[in-house]
Structure 1
Amino acid sequence: MTPPLLHLEDELTRLTLAPHLGASLVEWTVRGTGAPLLRPPAPQALENGLPGKLGGFPLIPWSNRIAKGGFDCPGGWLALDANSPNDPFPIHGSAWQQPWQVIEHSAHEALLQLDSRHPFGYRASLRIGLNGGQLQIAMLVTHTAKQPAWHGLGLHPYFPRTAATRLKTRATQAWLCDATKLPTELIDLPAHWDFGEARLLPDTLVDNGFGGWDGHCLIQQPDLGYTLECRASGSDYFLLYCPVGLDFFCFEPVSHPVNAHHLPGRPGLRLLEQGQSMAMQFSMQCRLL
C-alpha cells in the first residue's frame, strides 16, 4: 500500500508532496488549465519509489556528486558509498532517499522533518507553502552528531521543456567538467551560457555548475501559458542540466558547487558543530500569460 500523499493548493495552483519519498515534490500544476509547473511524474514513479522521476526533491546534506569515496572532517575521513544505480559517485546527499515525518499540514502549507543518522547525525526540516501562485520552500539543517561535519544544501526541481522554453538568469562563472561530470576548471562565463537576457535553452548537453549568481531566475513557458519568477537565498550557485532531446530541464539552486568537498577552500560548504544550523530558501512565483 502506497503511503499517503499531501495536497496543497491556493487560488491559482495545486501541489502534491510525497513525504515518504525523500519529501519529493510530486507535481505542481495550474488549477485552471492543468499546465505543469514542474515536470509531470513519470508513470509508476510513485509506485516504484523513484524521486528522480518526480517533480523535484531536496538536497541535504550536500548537492550533486562527491569524488574519492568520501571527504575529510575534523574527526577524520568520512567514507561514502555510491547511492544511485545511475552514478558511480555518492550523489545528492541522503535526505532524498529517506522517509520524512509530517509535522504540520494545512490546505496551504506543510512542515516536514527528517532525523537522519546517515552519513552523520542531522535534523532537516522543510516548510513548503502556496500563496497567490507562489511556491515557497524553506530548508533548514541542524547538525546533531557529536563530531562536526561539512554541510551543504540544494533543491533539485525538474521543469517542463518545450521548443519555446526560455531562461533568464545572471552568473559570472561556470565550471567545465570531465567525462565523469566532475568540475575541472572554473572559467569566466562563456557567451553560449550567458542567460543575462532571456534565451532558448541550448540544443547541446549542459550539465554544469555556475557561480556568481544573484539568486534570481526567470523561466518563460509561452507554450504552457505562464512564467515563473524564482528567487533564492542561502544559495550563491546553481546547476543547469539540459539533456538533449528530452522534455525537461533542471535549474538547481545550491549552496555550493559540485564536489566542493574536494575543491580549494570548500566553497559554499559550512562546517557545523552539534546544534549549529544552515538554511536555504527558494520561491517560484507563477504568473499566467
Structure 2
Amino acid sequence: MRAPTGDQYRLELEAEGRRVVAVVTEVAAGIRSLSIDGVDLVEPFAESVIPPGGAGIVLVPWPNRVAGGRWTLDGEPQQLDLTEPKAGNAIHGLLRNTAYRVLEQEPHRVLQAATVHPQHGYPFLVDTTVEHRLTDDGLTVTHTLSNASASAAPVAVGAHPYLRVGDVPVEELTLTVDASTRFVTDDAQIPVSEEPVAGTAYDLTAGRRIGDLTMDQGYGGVRVTDGRSRHRVEAPDGRAVELWADASFGYAQVFTPPAFASIDGPRRAVAIEPMTAPANALNSGQGLRWLAPGERWELSWGIRSA
C-alpha cells in the first residue's frame, strides 16, 4: 500500500553521543516524526494516514486563513478555492496536498522542491524549496521562495508542527510563547483587531500549563533575541522542546485540540505554528511580502531539545 503522504524520507544523524531520527514526507514536505534517542520532539503520525490536523505540513504561499477565500489584486477581485468549507475560508496555502520532488538527499538531510502554479485566486508562479536538516539537538528547516512571475507576487510562509516531550502527557506540559499581542477573531477565525496580552489570560510569556488551555489563537509581536524567536513546551522534570525561528517569523499560532488523532488514539496536543504573516494577510497586508520578479527569499526555523 502506498502512503497517503507519498515517499517517506528517513533521516538519521549520530552526533554528540545522540541519535537523531526524523521522517519527512513527499506530500507537503511534512515532518511525520522527529526524535532524539527515542524521545519524541513532535507528535508522530502513522504512515498510513494523512497528517492529522495538518501535522508537520508546510504552509505556502500563506499560512492560516483567508476570509471567504476572497481578496483584491490591483482592483480586481480574486477568489481562492474554499478549503475550510465549514467556515467558508481558504486555509493553509496551496501546497498542503502537493507532492514535492527531491533535489538533494543525504543521510541527515533532504532538499525538496514544489511550484505554486497560477490557479483560482492566485495568478502567480512561485518556485519553492524546503530543506530538512538534522542537527545534534533537533532539526532545522530552511525555505526558499522565488518569484517566476512577470509581476510582484504576495507570499507568506508558515509551518504546522505539534510539539511533544517524549511520553509526558501534553496536559502536564508548560507552554511558553514569547509574543506581546494576540489577534481577536470573528466566528470564522478571521482577525478583527490586535490587542496586548499583558495581564490577560492569553499571556503565555511566563508559561502556562497546557491542561488549563483551550485555544486556536494567533499571536503577534513575537520577540526576537539574537536573531531568533523562541517558544517552548516544558515537562515537570525540566526537559523541554523549543521551537525557534529567524526574524522573518514575526507571528505564531497556538492550537490545542482536545482530540488530536494520535497513533495511540485521540488525545490533547499542542501546535506552535511559526508564521511570517497572520491570518487573512492577503487582505490586511500585515506581514505580507511582495516578491519582485526574479526575487528569492530564504528563511529558517527549527525544533530542538532544550
In the alignment, which residue of structure 2 is the partner of 1:235? Answer: 249
For residues 54 and 269 of structure 1, the distance between their equivalents in structure 2, rounded to whole angstroms, comes to 22
Give the drift of 1:75: 7.6
Distance (Å, rounded) in 2 between the aligned partners of 1:93 and 1:192: 30
How far is 1:54 from its partner?
Answer: 6.5
Structure 2 residue 233 is the aligned partner of structure 1 residue 219: yes
Distance (Å, rounded) in 2 between the aligned partners of 1:72 and 1:278: 23
Give the alignment of 1:72-87 within 5 angstroms: 72-74=72-74, 76-84=76-84, 87=87
Task: Identify if the C-alpha distance between structure 1 residues 274 and 109 changes in structure 2 by more than 3 Å, giving closer, same or farther.
Answer: same
Alignment-derived partner of residue 14 in structure 1: 21
Identify the match of residue 45 of structure 2 among 31, 41, 44: 41
**Partner SS, residue 160 of structure 2:** strand
Q: Given the two structures, how large is their TM-score scaled by the length of structure 1? A: 0.88
Cα distance per residue 1:233-289 (max 9 Å; x no partner): 1111111111236421110110111112222xx1100112321233321122214xx
Aligned to 2:205: 196
What SS class does the counterpart of residue 67 from structure 2 fall into? coil
Does structure 1 conserve the Cα–Cα contact (< 8 Å) formed by 2:65 and 2:279?
yes
**1:75, 1:147 → 2: CA distance?**
15
Matched, 1:276 2:299: no
Answering whether residue 166 of structure 2 is matched by residue 145 of structure 1, we say: no
1:157 corresponds to which residue? 161
Unaligned runs of 5+ in 2: 224-228, 260-266
Counterpart-to-counterpart distance in 2, 1:256 and 1:182: 13
Q: Kindly provide the CA deviation profile for residues 112-152 of structure 1, in whole angstroms up to 9, marking residues without a partner as x.
A: 11122143311011011011022000111112122322111
Aligned to 2:187, which of 179, 184, 189? 179
Give the SS at the match of 2:163: strand
Q: Which of the residues 124, 127, 136 maps onto 1:123?
A: 127
Deviates more, 1:234-243 or 1:213-222: 213-222
Q: Is 1:107 paired with 2:107?
A: yes
CA distance in 1, matches of 2:69, 2:171: 39
So what's the TM-score if we normalise by structure 2?
A: 0.83
Q: 1:26-105 alignment to 2 at 5 Å?
A: 26-30=32-36, 32=37, 34-42=38-46, 44-45=48-49, 50-53=50-53, 55-74=55-74, 76-84=76-84, 87-105=87-105
- RMSD across aligned positions (CA): 2.2
Whole-angstrom CA distance in 2 between matches of 1:112 and 1:73: 30
The one-letter code sitting in structure 2 at the alignment partner of 1:167 is: L
Distance 1:202 1:255 in 2: 28
Of 205, 211, 229, the residue aligned with 2:214 is 205
Instruction: In structure 2, give the amino acid aligned to 1:98.
Output: T
Separation (CA, whole Å) in 2 of partners of 1:252 and 1:182? 16
Distance of 1:13 and 1:88 partners within structure 2: 40
What SS class does the counterpart of residue 56 from structure 1 fall into? coil
Residue 84 of structure 1, CA deviation: 4.5
SS of structure 2 residue aligned to 1:142: strand
Paired residue for 1:261, among 278, 282, 294? Answer: 282
Q: Which runs of 4+ in 1 moved over 6 A?
A: none
Contact 2:132 2:141 (C-alpha < 8 Å) held by counterparts: yes
